A and B are shown apart, each in its own frame.
Chain A
Amino acid sequence: MRAKAKLYPKEAARLLREKPGVREAVTGATLHFERNRLKAYAEVPIEEWRERAKAVKDHVLTHLDHYLELAERRLRENGVQVHWAETPEDAHRVLREVVHRRGVKRAVKAKSMLTEELGVNPLLESLGVEVYETDLGEYLIQLLGEPPSHIVGPAIHLSLGEIQKLFHARFGTPLDASPEALAQVARRVLREAFLSAELGLSGANFLVAETGTLALMENEGNIRLSTSLPKVHVAFVGIEKLLPRFADLALFLPLTARAATGQRLATFVSLIQGPAREGEEGPEEVHVVLVDHGRTALLHDLEAWETLRCLRCGACLNACPVYRQTGGHPYGYVYSGPIGAVLDPGLLTLEEAYPLPYASTLCGACYEACPVKIPIPRLLLTWRHRAAEEGLTPSWEHGAMRAFRKVMESPALYRLFSKGLRGLPLPQDLLPLLKAWTEGRGPLRPSPKPFHELWKEVADGR
């Protein structure tokens, strides 16, 4: 997927102006998730869990070569075909081969952000394959031709009314059909797809190196069907998704569920150990595509590698008051919200992902929510610093900052500025920055006297 991150400021403003319903839908849903997460965190010694999870992920990431080779070995022993994809094209090659060899006409797909990165759907469509997103939210946005706007709740920006309209136009359901009735319609369509598809596609929440086990979490049952009914299952796994031991799932499955939705465990957890054996039902072929797509380079970045701990739980999006105003679309790339703002510059280039690191007030809510303690605010600062160093920030900003520094370096100039702020009729509507302030907040009203003048009055006594 091409990044359109550059458009963030304009797109965010446009969305707020033209589609106020998105803000309402996203705020409502994220606050709901956030309340559930807080409750779920409070039930357990969450600080110990987070520290432990961070330590496990750091261990994997700093011994990644070892665990990748171990995982590959175990997967092959389990009868899984393992592929390495450095680029989306490498992943496409694997899919093309499977589609041609097995004569695939129809594919069912479990929710996976990585497949968004890789552009799996457009590729399959170009090969004449009919692709069905089977997660209900993903199915909705597929019908609308939109990308996901949230890692966990891809259709978080849609209101019930919009979904009713969509289904009315598409399937002829009444405009006031209940959510249950709409789900029934989707279920009917998707059932048919599950039963007839030759290919099932998925991502993975975790890949256990010790046993070669893929772990997938979900609430709808569609992942289980997508990965077990078709004769071929292809799973795309980012190389950062490894866990060393099977026992680590005992921490990571409940932690991810608590962080993502406030559940103690996801409704369904599928542990996939390879293709069907003699006398079993299930896929004849299981492929695991281990995807790099910028991850190795990010791992080598000493200031930003910690981003790779990310579990894709979406907790930081739910906690982020900036994300809540618009949802994920204005961010312009697969990963939005706080994690997108620090991961996208690492997976893409900073130039492509600029100005996402500025889509934050540095409020720190993301860090408190993150189950693996990714220091997102610190990473935002790091990317901003690099953006300024690389000259990506606008020249007016650099000029303004230099002038600001010059004034603040000299108490005499600062005092002069202070007098100017009061004495001169400020052209508040003329300076663009001031205008951006005053338009929504009215004119700036300084105190009659600055404190440094009042100090002389309070200096001796009361």
Chain B
Amino acid sequence: MRVALFITCLADQFYAEAGVAAVRLLRALGVEVDFPEGQTCCGQPAFNAGHWDEARPLAKRTLEVFEEAEYVVLPSGSCASMVKNHYPELLPGNREALAMAEKTYELSQFLVRVLGVEKLGEGLKGRKVAYHHGCHALRELGVREEPLLLLQNAGAEVLPWEAWEECCGFGGLFSVKLPEVSLAMADRKLATLPEAEVLTSTDAGCLLHLSGRMGKKGLGLRVAPLATLLWEAYAG
């Protein structure tokens, strides 16, 4: 089986280790990994802000970049949903958009639903993890159980967190256009954060926003993308 990794621009720039972890993990599971070097951004920031004319060329070129791929895997629920759910809306009648939507998966979704892997190893034994459900992974892709299953089966204790399904307030441009509301939302998340060793999520945007806010508030919790923890689950 062959997978093309779509790192996504945010993870590429701010959570590069998630890409390395994803490559190592997929290979360890017997999957060949390509990294089409023409990839940049899926176009989501422009699409969500309403600037569809700017988003459309980015969607089109992304379709070309991944045209040959058997599967496209992203360490991001939000960008995966952009491809799966919104490309067909942005490019109505475009067959390639439908084809790419079919073969695109968020990483944990790919591991569980396509590879049928539910246990990666025991590398997270005894680790106390706080899991933030990224909104688009959760509500647009329906990725709810997959990350939890993989974390728990590797021995992690995923701690109860009242606000774990609530939006963290990132929201792309929202975070800078309405910074006060965005930060109040982060503060609500963090005020209910359980005593974990590590905070993780599928999405780099959420983590960047939450870790920045934690830094400002003097919270010293480790923040790691889900891909990184899943590699640790495998490799120990």
A312 CB, min distance to chain B CBs, angstroms: 23
Which residues of chain B in 122-179 are interfacial with respect to chain A, using CB atoms and an 8 Å cutoff? Answer: 135-136, 138-140, 166-167, 169-179
Interface secondary structure of B, over-half rule? helix
> A132 in the interface, Cβ–Cβ < 8 Å?
no
Q: Are the CB atoms of B177 and A449 closer together than 8 Å?
A: no
**Stretch with Cβ within 8 A of A (4 or more), from B10-18, B101-109, B112-120:** B10-18
Q: With A361-B170, A362-B48, A442-B215 as known contacts, state yes or no: A401 contacts B54, CB within 8 Å.
A: yes
> A321 in the interface, Cβ–Cβ < 8 Å?
yes
Q: Are the CB atoms of A381 and B48 closer together than 8 Å?
A: yes
Q: Are the CB atoms of B136 and A364 closer together than 8 Å?
A: yes
**Stretch with Cβ within 8 A of B (4 or more), from A8-16, A69-77, A115-123, A225-233:** A8-16
> B229 in the interface, Cβ–Cβ < 8 Å?
no
A375 CB, min distance to chain B CBs, angstroms: 11
Interface secondary structure of A, over-half rule? helix
Q: Are the CB atoms of B37 and A362 closer together than 8 Å?
A: no
Q: Are the CB atoms of A404 and B46 closer together than 8 Å?
A: yes
> A436 in the interface, Cβ–Cβ < 8 Å?
yes
Chain A residues positioned under 8 Å from B41 (CB to CB): 404, 408, 414
Chain A residues positioned under 8 Å from B216 (CB to CB): 440-442
Q: Are the CB atoms of A411 and B37 closer together than 8 Å?
A: yes
> A170 in the interface, Cβ–Cβ < 8 Å?
no
**Stretch with Cβ within 8 A of B (4 or more), from A39-47, A57-65, A288-296, A386-394:** A386-394
Q: Are the CB atoms of A361 and B49 closer together than 8 Å?
A: no
Q: Are the CB atoms of B135 and A364 closer together than 8 Å?
A: yes
Chain A residues positioned under 8 Å from B48 (CB to CB): 362, 381, 384
Q: Are the CB atoms of A360 and B51 closer together than 8 Å?
A: no
Q: With A9-B177, A23-B184, A442-B215 as known contacts, state yes or no: A364 contacts B50, CB within 8 Å.
A: no
Q: Are the CB atoms of B58 and A462 closer together than 8 Å?
A: no
Q: How far is A383 from B209 in the complex, measured between Cα atoms in Å?
A: 26
Chain B residues positioned under 8 Å from A408 (CB to CB): 9, 40-41, 43, 58
Q: With A441-B209, A441-B215 as known contacts, state yes or no: A368 contacts B139, CB within 8 Å.
A: yes
Q: With A324-B188, A408-B58 as known contacts, state yes or no: A454 contacts B19, CB within 8 Å.
A: yes
Residue A398 contacts which of B40, B51, B172 (CB distance < 8 angstroms)?
Answer: B51
Q: With A321-B167, A411-B38, A440-B183 as known contacts, state yes or no: A451 contacts B176, CB within 8 Å.
A: no
Q: Are the CB atoms of A322 and B185 closer together than 8 Å?
A: yes
Q: How far is A462 from B140 in the complex, measured between Cα atoms in Å?
A: 33
Which residues of chain A in 348-385 are interfacial with respect to chain B, using CB atoms and an 8 Å cutoff? Answer: 357-365, 367-368, 378, 381, 383-385
Chain B residues positioned under 8 Å from A451 (CB to CB): 7, 11-12, 16, 18-20
> B181 in the interface, Cβ–Cβ < 8 Å?
yes
> A144 in the interface, Cβ–Cβ < 8 Å?
no
Q: Are the CB atoms of B17 and A447 closer together than 8 Å?
A: yes
Please give me the residue from chain A that is nearest to B54 by CB atom.
Answer: A405
Question: Binary interface profile of A, 21-48, with partner B (CB < 8 Å = 1, else 0)?
Answer: 0010001000000000000000000000
Q: How far is A195 from B62 in the complex, measured between Cα atoms in Å?
A: 70
Chain B residues positioned under 8 Å from A1 (CB to CB): none
B150 CB, min distance to chain A CBs, angstroms: 21
Q: With A362-B135, A440-B212, A451-B11 as known contacts, state yes or no: A458 contacts B23, CB within 8 Å.
A: yes
Question: Binary interface profile of B, 16-49, with partner A (CB < 8 Å = 1, else 0)?
Answer: 1111100110010000000101111101011111
Q: Are the CB atoms of B139 and A446 closer together than 8 Å?
A: no
Residue A12 contacts which of B11, B38, B47, B178 (CB distance < 8 angstroms)?
Answer: B178
Most chain B beta-carbon contacts within 10 A, residue among A9, A362, A365, A388? A362
Q: Are the CB atoms of B49 and A16 closer together than 8 Å?
A: no
Chain B residues positioned under 8 Å from A448 (CB to CB): 16
Q: Are the CB atoms of B7 and A359 closer together than 8 Å?
A: no
> B57 in the interface, Cβ–Cβ < 8 Å?
yes
A368 CB, min distance to chain B CBs, angstroms: 6
Q: Are the CB atoms of A442 and B212 closer together than 8 Å?
A: yes
> A450 in the interface, Cβ–Cβ < 8 Å?
yes
Q: How far is A227 from B156 in the complex, measured between Cα atoms in Å?
A: 59
Chain A residues positioned under 8 Å from B43 (CB to CB): 405, 408
> A171 in the interface, Cβ–Cβ < 8 Å?
no
> A421 in the interface, Cβ–Cβ < 8 Å?
yes
A371 CB, min distance to chain B CBs, angstroms: 17
Chain B residues positioned under 8 Å from A360 (CB to CB): 171, 174
Question: Binary interface profile of A, 399-419, with partner B (CB < 8 Å = 1, else 0)?
Answer: 001101101111100100010
Please give me the residue from chain B that is nearest to A355 by CB atom.
Answer: B177
Q: Are the CB atoms of B50 and A387 closer together than 8 Å?
A: yes
Q: Are the CB atoms of B57 and A363 closer together than 8 Å?
A: no
B216 CB, min distance to chain A CBs, angstroms: 6
Q: With A321-B166, A405-B54, A450-B12 as known contacts, state yes or no: A363 contacts B24, CB within 8 Å.
A: no
Q: How far is A410 from B111 in the complex, measured between Cα atoms in Å?
A: 31
Chain B residues positioned under 8 Å from A16 (CB to CB): 180-181, 184
Residue ranges of A at the interface with B (Cβ–Cβ < 8 Å): 9, 12-13, 16-17, 23, 27, 321-322, 324-326, 357-365, 367-368, 378, 381, 383-389, 393, 397-398, 401-402, 404-405, 407-411, 414, 418, 421, 433, 436-437, 439-442, 444-455, 458-459, 462
A-B pairs with beta carbons under 8 Å apart, 24 shown: A9-B177, A16-B181, A16-B184, A322-B181, A325-B181, A358-B49, A358-B178, A361-B174, A363-B171, A364-B136, A368-B139, A381-B47, A401-B45, A401-B54, A405-B54, A405-B57, A414-B40, A440-B183, A440-B186, A441-B216, A451-B20, A452-B7, A455-B35, A459-B35
Given contacts A363-B166, A446-B13, A459-B35, list 20 more A-B pairs with CB under 8 A: A322-B181, A358-B174, A362-B171, A364-B135, A365-B166, A386-B50, A397-B49, A405-B58, A411-B37, A411-B40, A414-B41, A418-B13, A436-B176, A444-B208, A447-B17, A450-B12, A451-B12, A451-B20, A455-B37, A458-B20
